[in-house]
Amino acid sequence: MAHEAPRVQQPKPQALASRNTPSSILVSPRQRGNPILNSIRAVPWEYSDIVPDYTVGATTCALFLSLKYHRLHPEYIYSRIKALAGKYNLRILLVMVDIENHEESLRELSKTSLINNVTIMLCWSAQEAGRYLELYKTYEHAAPTSIRAHQATNYSEKLVEFITTPRSINKTDAVSLVSNFGSLRTAINAHPEEVALVAGWGDKKVQRWCNSVREPFRNPKASKKGKANDAVPLNPARQQTQKDLPDPRVAARLGIGSQVPLENESTTATDASRQTSERPPAAAAASNAIVEPGEDEEEALLEAQYGPSAPSNMAAPSNGSKTNNKRKADEPLSEGIEAALAKLRNQ
């Protein structure tokens, strides 16, 4: 029994989207004799009774204006924009810059375009203006992806795109650079003499590559601004003058500020007696004498405890009164004082 051959299925015909706009550029009779028409050669054009000067799409139109004519008749372009009455989504103002002092006129037209939703296109020759009209008509039905830049998708394309960022470095140079050094990290850390050994890399390419990979990420102006902010002095009201600082001798005795180095408790009695024997008698007597705090030291102690606003009734007594200078009997002694007393008893 013979097998039947599979039937071929024909695709269903689909209706193409109808284009309501003509395939040519529509030109208003006002533009008759304009040299721009001689420069439109890529696409056909024809005269038509339209409100704008040129129609390059169903929703796109263009108005032509010469700055020399605008200086003589400044009200002309305003009446033309008003006549459009919002009929087109994209309204182009094709301006021919044919005067020298054009800054003031362009500033005025820019302000007008922002208010009336008009896009300004500047041209300096009839050939350039005709080329703009051709491009608008050519890309009338083009998709947005046709003018979108190509974006890298895989690692190799991203690598080549990164290396070719400096000027005059092409894709062949990028491939040769990575193939010689093996990785991008090694190529970045390579010395200029090593990069110059790569085939096709001249002095300019090496210099531009090395300057690009060694350029700091932070803007020099921003770094200078940060240094300037760091150099700003503090509030003068918060700065302490030398007069406000306590006496270092009084501060050391009262334990204010830097800590006073304590004597090591593991020092033996023989070391203490040796130090005492090496010192002269007068110095030893002065060191063994008990020094009582004076009035200045008592005032500094009160100021450190209660602040600058110490009560007047808590003034320190004179040196003659030993009531506050003697330690209470029931108060426990610290370990450092007991060690010092033990050393004195052993002597």
| Residues forming beta bridges with residue 93, ordered by sequence position | 63, 120
Q: Which domains does the chain have, with CATH numbers?
A: 25-141 (3.40.50.10130), 155-213 (1.10.150.20), 266-317+338-347 (no CATH)
Supply the pLDDT for residue 266: 47
260 vs 215 pLDDT, higher one: 215
- pTM equals 0.43
Q: How far apart are CA 245 and CA 265, in angstroms?
A: 32
Planar angle of CA 105, 110, 116, nearest 5 degrees:
125
Query: pLDDT, tens digit, for every residue of 8-37?
Result: 666 676 665 555 556 889 999 999 889 999
The answer to whether the beta carbons of residues 48 and 27 sit under 8 Å apart is yes
Tokens of 45: 């054009």
Q: What is the mean pLDDT of the chain?
A: 74
Tokens of 32: 């008759």
Dihedral angle over CA of 234, 239, 242, 246, nearest 10: -140
Query: pLDDT, tens digit, for every residue of 229-261?
Result: 555 454 544 444 444 555 565 455 545 554 444
Average pLDDT over residues 214-237: 60
